[in-house]
Structure 1
Amino acid sequence: MVDEVVVQEEISVHRACKIVCMSRSMYYYAHKKDDTVVISKLMDLSIRYPTRGFETYYGKIRLEGLVWNRKRVLRVYRNINLKLRVKRKRRLPSRIKEKLIVPGAVNQTWSIDFMSDSLANGRRFRVLNVIDDYNRESLINEAFYSIPGVRVVQKLKELLMFRPKPKRIRTDNGPEFLSKVFTDFCLAYEIELQYIQPGKPAQNAYIERLNRTFREDVLDAYLFGSIVEVNATAYEWQVDYNSNHPHKSLNGLSPWLYAKETLVS
């Protein structure tokens, strides 16, 4: 009404408000809905309880003593599309940072990791590396096109046929090491699983160092035409590494020689 009077009579807003008996504060008032707190609360509940719905969220809100109107909370719930359920992402359990120490004897701690490369025809393959942390002995260096948890367990069982089992195994958080078949294997053999923190490869430094040497000496040094060629070269490298590769941390001795001398002493 004020706007019509201002246009028709060509007068100021002040006079038009007096004519229609309206205060200027009412004329200039603009209602603003601030739902920031409600949105924040609903988003927090949706993260903590992703499989629940509005009724559960509203019930929790009331139990916390927040007396927000149900219609308001439902309106915000619909506006931010929480009714469209987002696929829940599996979260890793928290990993504890543990100091990387040298074991006191062989077969106390093994470290496992993967590497990847490609053949001359472009086909990708992966390499399974296993090392004994005590004397840095390379136990497994074998390539496959695919290495699921089942294959990891199979190769470890083959290794345990002629070698005592370790007390613990250190790995990253790859799906192969989180798989049920791998965790069940460790549980059955009473092997402690030690996971490093995500994104912290330095916590698995022993095998990371072996990976670098293996890549420089094998993967980057040759052009392979087949997996058979990769594994043949990897086996020759493994024997040479364990018998002839000097380690500063082992007083300049190779893994096999260091293990032999410490056993004698």
Structure 2
Amino acid sequence: MKRKRFTDEQIIAVLKEHEAGAKTADLARKHGISEATLYNWKAKFGGMEVSEAKRLKALEDENAKLKKLLAEQMLDAAALRELLFKKMVGPAAKRAAAAHLQAKLGLSERRACSIVGADRTMVRYRSRRPSDAELRVRLRELANERRRFGYRRLFILLRREGERSGINRIHRLYREEGLTVRKRRARRKAIGMRAPIPVEAKPNARWSLDFVSDQFANGRRFRILNIVDDVTKECLGAIPDTSISGRRVARELTAIVAWRGKPGSIVSDNGTEFTCNAMLAWCQDNSIAWHFIAPGKPIQNAFVESFNGRMRDELLNETLFFGVAEARSKIAAWVADYNGERPHSSLKYQTPAAYAATFTATGDRLRNPDQLRRSPVAPPAPIGVKPTRTLNAAG
């Protein structure tokens, strides 16, 4: 701001000389000013005393400050309107908001940070994190291949490929890429008292059986008989067909027993395929205890029900079948992947085949500290069934 040559007091003193009778030309020559300047002084300060001039100066200064404050408030209001529909949660969002105000309204960095409520050092920060473009691409590829896998299972698959990133970083990239799996909620849940059935933790201690239904592309229905080992979580059989009778179930169980060995017990629901005379005779011939769950309580057969849910979520809802032959080939491939490649959360993300390998030929656990440690008693499901209730042949 240009500095004045004359103060207000000096100007009023000059005007007093002019009022006393001094000529305009003489005053202008005496003080080194033009006559026009003298007339301007007279228009502004004519008839005023020094105190009045000081008060006028104070009013002018206050008015200038008020105008500046009003302009700043209007500018702040305009800036807030620019950010009305922007979420400013987190450093990245605040950094982007400050940059937007600087580019849109021409604000300084200090002013933009004041409006946004961010620290200037945070706005100036530039990440030194190495590029994760390749990891993002691979994560998207795995998520597209395993569309129903969450970040924990994808993390296990990346670790198998040699990726050294931690699970927190994988989770962050998983969320940033928008790969979150939408959960399919069950329509209803079974409730009731639970009574655990202790099972020895070894292969073939108990099998679970159940059916799951689906349809072909032409609308024709078919069923899948699923057989699961409750301890190792292995799928011992997944047999799809348009019709599966009790004799077919007995024949499939005989084939599995031939290469797997005899189970200690078998659990199923009360379906006609499991309660027919063919199954009664098969149980009597093979001396296998068969336990039925309570009617309308599928939670008591939780192991195979959980397997059915994974099969429907990851295979049946994602695949279109055009015939029985195609269904058999695709289901067999998925079962092989389930047993040998898919990490299982209840086995601390080991595969069922890898966990089954920790048992010796006699069914005892390998005593290796690097192996998975589990309780000597398997989890209590299926539950709610009296151990004395077995499948007996009808008279």
**Of 215, 226, 232, which residue of structure 1 is paired with 2:312?**
215
Aligned to 1:99: 196
* CA-to-aligned-CA distance 1:50-103 (integer Å, 9 cap, x gap): xxxxxxxxxxxxxxxxxxxxxxxxxxxxxxxxxxxxxxxxxxxxxx97525554
CA distance, structure 2, for counterparts of residue 234 and residue 203 of structure 1: 25
Is the contact made by 1:127 and 1:142 (CA closer than 8 Å) also made in structure 2? yes
Contact kept, 8 Å, 2:199 with 2:205, in 1: the verdict is no
Counterpart for residue 155 of structure 1: 252
**Aligned position for 2:59:** none
Unaligned runs of 5+ in 2: 1-192, 361-365, 368-395
* 2: CA distance, partners of 1:127 / 1:206: 16
Distance 1:249 1:102, change over 3 A: farther
1:80-99 correspondence runs (5 A): 98-99=195-196
When residues 205 and 256 of structure 1 are mapped into structure 2, their CA distance, relative to the original with a 3 A threshold, is same
CA spacing shift, 1:220–1:103, aligned 2, 3 Å: farther
Contact 1:149–1:177 (8 Å) recurs in 2: yes
Confirm whether residue 135 of structure 1 aligns to residue 236 of structure 2.
Answer: no
What are the residue-to-residue correspondences of 1:20-169 with 2, within 5 Å?
A: 98-101=195-198, 103-169=200-266
User: 1:206 and 1:258 mapped to 2: Cα distance?
Assistant: 16
Displacement after TM superposition at 1:199 (Å)? 0.5
Identify if the C-alpha distance between structure 1 residues 105 and 126 changes in structure 2 by more than 3 Å, giving closer, same or farther.
same
Assess, with a 3 A threshold, how the Cα gap between structure 1 residues 100 and 217 changes in structure 2: closer, same or farther. farther
Distance 1:247 1:220 in 2: 20
d(CA) in 1 for partners of 2:217, 2:276? 31
- SS in structure 1 opposite 2:259? coil
SS at match of 2:256: helix
Aligned-partner residue type, residue 293 of structure 2: I
CA distance in 2, matches of 1:247, 1:218: 16
Alpha-carbon distance in structure 1 between the residues aligned to 2:241 and 2:268: 19
2:260 alignment partner, SS class: coil
Residue of structure 2 equivalent to 1:36:
none
Letter in 2 for 1:99: P
**Which of 198, 207, 215 is matched with 2:295 structurally?**
198
Secondary structure in 2 aligned to 1:235? helix
Contact 1:173 1:196 in 2 (8 A): yes
How far has the Cα of 1:262 moved from its partner?
3.5
CA contact under 8 A between 1:116 and 1:127: conserved in structure 2?
Answer: yes
4+ runs of 1 displaced by more than 4 Å?
Answer: none
1:260 maps to: 357
SS at match of 1:220: helix
Shift of 1:187: 1.3
Structure 2 match to 1:186: 283
Q: Give 1:248 shift.
A: 2.3
Where 2:236 maps in the other structure, the secondary structure is: strand
For 2:335 and 2:342, the matched residues in 1 are separated by 10
Structure 1 residues 112, 222: CA separation in 2 closer, same or farther (over 3 Å shift)? Answer: same
Match of 1:175 among 256, 263, 272: 272
> CA 1:168/1:211 → structure 2, altered by over 3 Å: closer, same or farther?
same
Out of 127-136 and 180-189, give the one that drifted further: 180-189
In 2: Cα distance, 1:106 partner to 1:237 partner? 21
- SS for the counterpart of 1:150 is helix
Aligned equivalents of 1:238 and 1:103: distance in 2? 25
Distance 2:343 2:213 in 1: 26
Which residue identity is paired with 2:267? R
| Distance apart, 1:251 and its partner CA | 2.1
The CA distance in 2 between the partners of 1:101 and 1:240, in whole Å, is 29
Instruction: Measure the CA separation in 2 of the matches of 1:102 and 1:165.
Output: 15
Cα deviation, 1:164-185, whole Å, max 9, x if unaligned, reads: 1101000000011110111210
Q: Which has the larger radius of gyration?
A: 2
**Distance in 1 separating the partners of 2:231 and 2:200:** 5
In structure 2, do the counterparts of structure 1 residues 103 and 248 end up closer, same or farther at CA, with 3 Å as the change threshold?
Answer: farther
User: Which structure 1 segments of 5+ residues have no match?
Assistant: 1-95
Larger strand percent: 1
Name the CA shift for 1:138/1:113 in 2 (closer, same or farther; >3 Å): same
Separation in 2 of the partners of 1:212 and 1:101? 24
Match of 1:211, SS state, is helix
Q: Which amino acid aligns with 1:202?
A: I
